[in-house]
């Protein structure tokens, strides 16, 4: 019974490095797969296509990498453990990378109006041979998702009407989208408080989309019954001083990245003049 020649035997038969080229695997960067994404961090796989023309699998002797975003190196290392090129086949070899967005944005400058930042990934795969370790270098690049949390700020507090028993107000809330693409907010469930007293709740199921690199303002209505709210609220509305306002909300954000709708909890407060 004949057995397939080992890679070592093949290399010995060829004699010199120039002649082993037909037996060398080739490496090509394939794609970036996002495994998990939230407001704090991202888990990705950098997937390589490796074509091994030999009749046996080849375990890696060495593997090193350096990942940079906007030309600033963030990760580097070497870990060949468990990686192998399949025999006579195209293999997918994945390099996992987990990054915290906070740490990333402390190092790199994200640009308003962009959904992604450029990445660079370089290094080499190495396998043993009678001629020593043969390195297969790679140098890849592309776009890396740059997720940023929409910013919510309190705007104007407007008094539409007031009498001795009730008042109608509207609070402007500004949503700022730093991405280049539109983000959509759904099921915007909120509670409004004045002077520490919760006075109204509401739900906006179909919140308008916030275009890329823009700020969208939505008015939240607030109906106050002084018999329920107490005289302190009436005094605050008629006293001429700034009023302590707080909004707490939860919403679902449809991000610019396909398949990722993320929950977002919001809590903002401030002292606003009544207009």
| CATH classification at residue 71 | 2.60.40.1820
Of 166, 171, 207, nearest to 189 (Cα)?
207
Q: Are 169 and 125 members of one domain?
A: no
Does 134 share its domain with 203?
no
DSSP 196-227: TEEEEEEEEEEPPPB-TTEEEEEEEEEEEEHH
Same domain, 137 and 184: no
Report the distance separating Cα 94 and Cα 49, nearest Å: 9
Cα gap 260→253, rounded to integer Å: 8
**What's the pLDDT score for residue 83?**
63
Same domain, 141 and 155: no
Tell me, yes or no, whether 86 lies in a domain.
Answer: yes
Q: Is the Cβ–Cβ distance between 152 and 174 less than 8 Å?
A: yes
* pLDDT recorded at residue 18: 63
Residue 1 resides in a domain: no
Residue 11 has pLDDT above 80, yes or no: no
Domain range spanning residue 265? 151-272
* Statement to judge: residues 35 and 141 lie in one domain: yes
In a domain, 244, yes or no: yes
Q: What is the rounded CA–CA span in Å between residue 71 and residue 133? A: 29
Same domain, 98 and 157: no
pLDDT of residue 1: 32
Q: What pLDDT, on a 0 to 100 scale, did the predictor assign at position 169?
A: 94
Question: Is the same domain home to 113 and 191?
Answer: no
Q: Are residues 137 and 212 in the same domain?
A: no
Residue 2 belongs to some domain of the structure? no
Query: Which range, of 2-6, 20-24, 56-60, 192-196, averages the lowest pLDDT?
Result: 2-6
Are residues 135 and 174 part of one domain? no
Indicate if 94 and 171 belong to the same structural domain.
no
Angle at 78 between CA 76 and CA 83, to 5 degrees: 130
Q: Mean pLDDT, to the nearest integer, of 219-233?
A: 90
Please identify, among 145, 178, 199, the residue that sits at the C-terminal boundary of a domain. 145
The pLDDT of 139-159, averaged and rounded, is: 94
Between these two residues, 52 and 11, which has the higher pLDDT value? 52
> Residues 106-134: what's their mean pLDDT?
85
3 confidence band (pLDDT: 50, 70, 90): very low
Q: What is the pLDDT of residue 88?
A: 65
Last residue of a domain, one of 145, 172, 203: 145
pTM to 2 decimal places: 0.82
Q: Does some domain include residue 21?
A: yes
Note the pLDDT of residue 59. Answer: 75
Q: What is the mean pLDDT of residues 86-104?
A: 82
Q: What is the pLDDT of residue 4?
A: 37
Residues 126 and 219 in one domain: no
Quick one: 200 and 128 in the same domain? no
Overall domain count for the chain: 2
- Tell me what pLDDT residue 82 has: 57
User: Is there a contact between 218 and 173 (Cβ–Cβ < 8 Å)?
Assistant: yes
Given a cut of 80, is residue 21 above it in pLDDT?
no
Q: Which residue, 111, 145, 179, sits at the end of a domain?
A: 145
Mean pLDDT of the chain: 86
pLDDT in tens, 46-60: 998 888 887 777 777
Q: Does a structural domain hold residue 93?
A: yes
Environment class of residue 106 by beta-carbon count within 10 Å: exposed (0-12), middle (13-18) or buried (19+)?
exposed
């Amino acid at each position: 019974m004949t057995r397939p020649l080992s890679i070592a035997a093949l290399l010995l038969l060829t004699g010199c490095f120039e002649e082993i080229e037909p037996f060398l695997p080739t490496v090509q960067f394939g794609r970036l797969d996002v495994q998990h994404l939230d407001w704090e961090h991202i888990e990705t796989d950098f997937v390589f296509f490796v074509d091994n023309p030999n009749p046996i699998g080849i375990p890696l002797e060495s593997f090193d990498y350096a990942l940079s975003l906007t030309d600033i190196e963030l990760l580097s290392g070497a870990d060949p453990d468990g990686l192998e090129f399949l025999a006579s086949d195209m293999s997918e070899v994945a390099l996992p990378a987990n990054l915290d967005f906070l740490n990333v944005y402390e190092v790199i400058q994200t640009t308003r109006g962009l959904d992604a930042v450029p990445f660079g990934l370089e290094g080499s795969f190495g396998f043993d041979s009678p001629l020593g370790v043969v390195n297969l270098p790679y140098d890849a690049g592309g776009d890396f998702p740059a997720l940023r949390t929409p910013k919510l700020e309190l705007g104007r507090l407007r008094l539409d009407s007031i009498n001795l028993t009730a008042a109608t107000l509207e609070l402007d809330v500004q949503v700022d989208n730093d991405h280049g693409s539109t983000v959509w907010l759904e099921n915007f469930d909120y509670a409004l408080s004045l002077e520490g007293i919760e006075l109204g709740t509401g739900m906006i199921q179909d919140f308008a989309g916030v275009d890329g690199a823009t700020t969208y303002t939505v008015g939240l209505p607030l109906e106050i019954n002084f018999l329920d709210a107490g005289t302190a609220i009436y005094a605050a509305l008629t006293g001429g001083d700034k009023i302590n306002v707080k909004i707490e909300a939860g919403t679902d954000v449809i991000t610019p990245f396909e398949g990722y709708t993320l929950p977002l909890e919001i809590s903002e407060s401030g002292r606003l003049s009544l207009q």
